[in-house]
Amino acid sequence: MTKEMAVRIGLVAVVAIVAGPVLVFAQDKGRVTSVGDIMKGIHKPHHGGIGELLKGDGPKDDAAWQQILLHAALLNESGHLLMQNDRCPSKVWAEATGTLRAGASAVHEAAGNKDVEAARAAFKTLTSACGACHKVYRNPLPDRFANVHALMSGINQPNCAAIGKAIKGDGPADDKAWQTLLTQAALLNEAGHLLMQNDRCPDAVWSNAAASLRSASRQVALAARGQNLVNVKKAFGDLTKACGSCHKAHKK
């Protein structure tokens, strides 16, 4: 062994001791199978095959049990494939594939014993592993994912309520309170635009109410800038009417 080679081996050993036992599967450009290919070519047919064979009274003969053994073995192997070649993006994925491997192994063991109930229980575990991962990755979030409920609960409700509270009695107590009210009106005005974007508007009632919300919230802001409580209250009344007209048609 040359001195240079010994040094290299020593460095590798040090890294291994410091880092601990970590399995790394670097992407191999010679492996072209995508996650979609694995799902279509392995998961779907073999998961479906087990499900069909476990229906009713279960497998009819030795050949059917052998089919379950084959399906389970390939699903178990797939649980390894999904962790290789840089396919795993997160802890959710890693945990789901671990449960998939364990569930597939349990199905395989139950099939070897020709135990229908045990096979069904293990298959349920296997299926839940698939579902946990699909919940996160099958329907990825779009670029803009705030729904109407999020806008209402995060912008409209808190800011509308805050303005209503602020203008009770003698209204805002100082310049800072007036500035806060102006900010709240500005956010409601912005919500009036957001409610028309990203395919959120379903009809003319919604569109007209959103326009009224924008107009009334602007008037609230202008009145707040001038610290005119009478005009703020009037504009806020128009604002709540706009919300009410839309809620009457769309709130469930």
Q: Are residues 160 and 129 in the same domain?
A: no
How many Cβ atoms are within 10 Å of 77's Cβ, its own excluded? 14
Q: pTM above the 0.75 mark?
A: no
Decide: residue 17, CB within 10 A, 0-12 exposed, 13-18 middle, 19+ buried: exposed
- Whether 16 is in a domain gets the answer no
Q: Are the CB atoms for 65 and 114 separated by under 8 Å?
A: yes
- Say whether both 163 and 205 belong to one domain: yes
Reading the block at residue 207, the tokens are: 């569109």
The residue range of the domain holding 242 is: 148-250
What is the count of structural domains for the chain? Answer: 2
Q: What is the pLDDT of residue 21?
A: 38
Per-residue confidence (pLDDT) for residue 26, from 0 to 100: 55
Structural domain ending residue among the three candidates 116, 137, 158 = 137
Q: 130 and 42: one domain?
A: yes
Task: Give, in degrees to the nearest 5, the angle at Cα 58 between 54 and 62.
Answer: 110
- In this prediction, residue 27 carries a pLDDT of 67
Cα distance between residue 90 and residue 24, in whole Å: 14
Domain-ending residue, one of 137, 164, 194? 137
Q: Which CATH number does the domain housing residue 107 bear?
A: 1.20.120.10
CA distances to 65, 211, 240, 243 from 246, rounded to whole Å, are 60, 11, 10, 5
- Asked whether the beta carbons of 87 and 96 are under 8 A apart, the reply is no
State which residues of the chain have pLDDT below 50. Answer: 1-25
Determine the Cα–Cα distance for residues 73 and 117; give it in Å rounded to an integer. Answer: 19
Task: Provide the H-helix boundaries in 113-174.
Answer: 116-137, 148-151, 157-166
pLDDT one-digit tens code per residue, 216-252: 999 999 999 999 999 999 999 999 999 999 999 998 7
- For residue 86, what are its two tokens? 């840089």
25 within domain boundaries = no
Question: Of 164, 157, 124, which Cα lies nearest the Cα of 247?
Answer: 157
Please give the pLDDT value at position 201.
95
